[in-house]
A and B are shown apart, each in its own frame.
Chain A
Amino acid sequence: MLQIKKLHKSYPIGNSSLHVLKGIDLSVEEGEMVAIMGSSGSGKSTLLNIIGMLDEADSGEYILDGLLIKNLTEKKAAVYRNKFLGFIFQSFNLINYKNALENVALPLYYQGLKRKERQELAMFHLGKVGLTNWAHHLPKELSGGQKQRVAIARALAANPKLLLADEPTGALDTTTSNEIMAFIQQLNDEGKTILMVTHEEDIANMCKRIVRLRDGVIIEDKKVNQVRVEQYV
């Protein structure tokens, strides 16, 4: 599904540069649920961004679904992102003037689907996260948990191969966090590959594998016994 070899990344800071990733080797199989852990500044978000094609590595190899991701044009990167990847962000990143349904339908718009299909599909995914009745509400009328569920529905709408989550529960309370994690586990059960950045130990333990980063290198990579979250929805 995903192979990364000797990945390096540094950011320029004034005249010097900050070496964030110092040779990452990582391989993820289909159907895995991986938590990437580390303190802030360990490079976990940078890694996720590179995997998400939101950022580019300086050197190293990144193969996604058998495809070498390198020197992509903006257009190609956009197509790949749309086709392969679904994003879930800590701050939800919904478009505030679009209602839940329109937000979910947006990646489908970029896939070139017809309006009717888009709406049906978006409605279906909203139904999956239990928000059918909230379809026509604006993000500001939704609770944090609901917003994140809309974001999950949006990430799923394009039927991506890989779901990337950046601290998906970071802005939520424990109950809501559990609710969201239950969803993500359920998605994984259905066969979605999930990669998640978190710094919360208990959230990480709800995944099947934990990769720990410190100062830009992987210090630990182990399979764990998944802690199942009770279904709330």
Chain B
Amino acid sequence: MFDLDLWREIFQSINKNRTRSLLSGFTVAFAILLFTILFGIANGLQNTFEQEFVDTASNSIFIMSGQTSMANEGLQAGRKIQFKNEDYDYIKEEFSDKVEFITSRVFKSVNASYKTEKNNYSLIAVHPDYQFVEKNIIKEGRYINQNDLENRTKNIVIGRLVEEDLFIKESAIGKYVNLNGIQFKVVGVFTDEGGDDEERIIYMPLATAQHLYGNNDYIDQMNLTYSPELNYEQALGFSNLLTRKLKSRFSVASDDQRGIRVFNMAEATQQVDQMTLGLTVIILVIGFGTLIAGIVGISNIMIFIVKERTKEIGIRKALGATPKSIISIILIESILITAIAGYVGLLIGVGVLELIGSSLEVYFITNPGVNNSLVFGATITLVFAGALAGYLPAQKASRIKPIVALRND
């Protein structure tokens, strides 16, 4: 039931005892403020982490070649290993049950121009599967397809920022871009969550690039993703097997670390997962720590408040106040103050995060923010703790014989 008189009593008490009200309010507001900011920053760190690694499929394997560092099978050290199309076919064939997507890569740098706009971009010649390995998202048009490969079409797919640079406000689809003197037709525009650099890339069919730039079947690098059904151990086993097979295929010593390199993202992912777990634990510890500090603070203040009000309680009892009315007046007052203060703390905390959030990216903190339900939960915990901390002494005070409370001190 809404008792207007009770609320009048409470508001008067809050209003006339401002120091006391501010003190308890400040404790809660500050605890929630700290909680919000710390949690927000921790979340920001985690966001950075996730963003850094979301870019490439986590089940990726990169296969790179270099110069051998050891002599093997009568071959001298320093021999250059060059992948060719047949190696791509070999892997695709040999591991067909484990490979999900596979693509070759040839890297080049090109000067691109459209009308008066000019710029230098990285060009990567790829298989159609590359879209899934790199997690490119088609914004407009289509990706490189099988037909492009077979017919060595002069079609390209460009990143969102390439389109922005060269075409300003126009749509690039169907237009021709000049790459090092040859005209290519833009068939698609893609976006990538990996950041700006990933969107300043031009993709070309592998066969086209091999034909135009050297007329060979060389490959710089191969990327593949393995079947998501493989667990961590199986994935490692797969990449180890792949490494061994490739090394023997190219007569590279089994402990040569340079000739052929296979990098399995699973290992990195594992590390990232552990890091994220560590971060989560730290966040939880910080959160609980702040919360406990807040609880201790508000409990102390509640005990102090009840102590301070003992005489008033005695007077009220002498005038006919029931224990229940005394407990409720103290509790509702403290709940009201802590709830409002908690909300204020939350608002300030969120405001601070909003304000400084974007300037923290230098410190690897991206989009620091908090889950609202989490902070509400924390506020409610504090309010509840305050109420509990107030309830016990209030109940005790309500049982005090008025004469003890009224004794001259």
Per the bound structure, the CA–CA distance linking A109 and B9 in Å amounts to 10
| Contact mask for chain A residues 101-121; partner B; CB cutoff 8 A; 1 contact, 0 none | 010001101110001000000
Instruction: Give the CA-CA distance A106 to B325 in the complex, in Å.
Output: 13
- Interface positions, chain B 368-409, Cβ under 8 Å from A, are 398-399, 401-403, 406, 408
Binary interface encoding of chain B residues 309-322 relative to chain A, with 1 for a CB under 8 A from any of its CBs, else 0:
00110111111111
Q: Contacts A87-B318, A115-B5; is A78 near B323 (CB within 8 Å)?
A: yes
9 contacts between A and B (CB under 8 A): A55-B401, A74-B323, A75-B324, A79-B320, A81-B320, A82-B319, A95-B315, A106-B316, A110-B316
User: B residues within 8 A CB of A89?
Assistant: 406
B13 at the interface (CB under 8 A from A): yes
Partner of B322, one of A55, A79, A98, A106: A79
Q: Contact: A49 with B403, CB < 8 Å? A: yes
Q: Does A145 contact B (CB under 8 A)?
A: no
- Nearest CB in chain A to that of B6: its residue: A109
Query: Nearest CB to that of A110 among chain B residues?
Result: B320
Q: How large is the interface on B (under 10, 10 to 19, 20 to 34, 35 or more residues)?
A: 20 to 34
A91 at interface by CB-CB < 8 Å: yes
Q: State how many angstroms separate the Cβ of B257 from the closest Cβ of chain A.
A: 80
How far does the Cβ of B113 sit from chain A's closest Cβ, in whole Å? 80
A residues near B, CB below 8 A?
Answer: 49, 52, 54-56, 74-75, 78-79, 81-83, 87, 89-91, 93-95, 97-98, 102, 106-107, 109-111, 115, 154, 158
Residue of B nearest to A114 (CB): B5
Given contacts A52-B318, A83-B320, A91-B408, 15 further A-B contacts (CB under 8 A): A54-B318, A56-B401, A74-B398, A75-B322, A78-B317, A81-B319, A93-B315, A94-B315, A95-B315, A95-B316, A97-B12, A102-B12, A109-B5, A110-B322, A158-B319
The CA of A158 and the CA of B319, in the complex, are separated in Å by: 9
Is A107 touching B12 in the complex (CB atoms < 8 A)?
no
The reply to whether A93 and B320 contact each other, CB–CB distance below 8 Å, is no
List the A residue with the shortest CB-CB distance to B311: A93
**Docked CA distance A75–B4 (Å):** 22
B17 at the interface (CB under 8 A from A): yes
Q: Which residues of A contact B403 (CB under 8 A)?
A: 49, 54-55
Fill in one digit per residue for B90-124: 1 if any A CB lies within 8 Å of its CB, else 0: 00000000000000000000000000000000000
Q: A154 to B401, Cβ gap below 8 A?
A: no
Known contacts A54-B403, A55-B403; is-contact A107 B320 (Cβ 8 Å): yes
Which positions in B face A, CB cutoff 8 Å? Answer: 4-5, 8-9, 12-13, 16-17, 311-312, 314-325, 398-399, 401-403, 406, 408
- Quick check: A95 and B312 within 8 Å, CB to CB? yes
**CB neighbours of A74 from chain B (8 A):** 322-323, 398-399
Closest beta carbon of chain B to A35's beta carbon, Å: 20
Residues of B within 8 A of A52 (CB): 318
- The distance from the CB of A50 to the nearest CB of chain B, in whole angstroms, is 9
Tell whether A78 pairs with B311 under 8 Å between CB atoms, given A49-B403, A90-B408: no
Asked if A93 meets B318 with Cβ closer than 8 Å, knowing A49-B403, A55-B401, A98-B12, the reply is yes
The residue that B323 contacts in the complex, of A54, A75, A94, A158, with Cβ under 8 A, is A75
Task: Decide if A78 touches B320 in the complex (CB within 8 Å).
Answer: yes
Q: Which of A54, A83, A107, A158 contacts B401 (CB 8 A)?
A: A54
How far, in Å, is A85 (CB) from chain B's closest CB?
A: 8
A109 partner residues in chain B, CB cutoff 8 A: 5, 9
Q: Could you say which residues of chain A place their CB within 8 Å of the CB of B315?
A: 93-95
Residue among A75, A87, A93 with the highest chain B CB neighbour number at 10 A: A93
Chain B neighbourhood of A79, CB < 8 A: 320, 322
Contact assessment for B319 and A110 in the assembled complex, using a CB-CB cutoff below 8 Å: yes
* Distance to closest chain B CB from A165 (angstroms): 13
Min CB gap A100→B, angstroms: 14
Closest B residue to A79 by beta carbon equals B320
Identify the interface centre among A83, A94, A106, A158: most chain B CB within 10 Å of its CB.
Answer: A106
The answer on a CB contact under 8 Å between A106 and B319 is yes
Lowest 9 A-B CB distances belong to which pairs?
A82-B320, A97-B16, A110-B320, A54-B403, A107-B319, A78-B322, A54-B402, A74-B323, A49-B403
Q: CA–CA, A94 to B318, complex, Å? A: 11
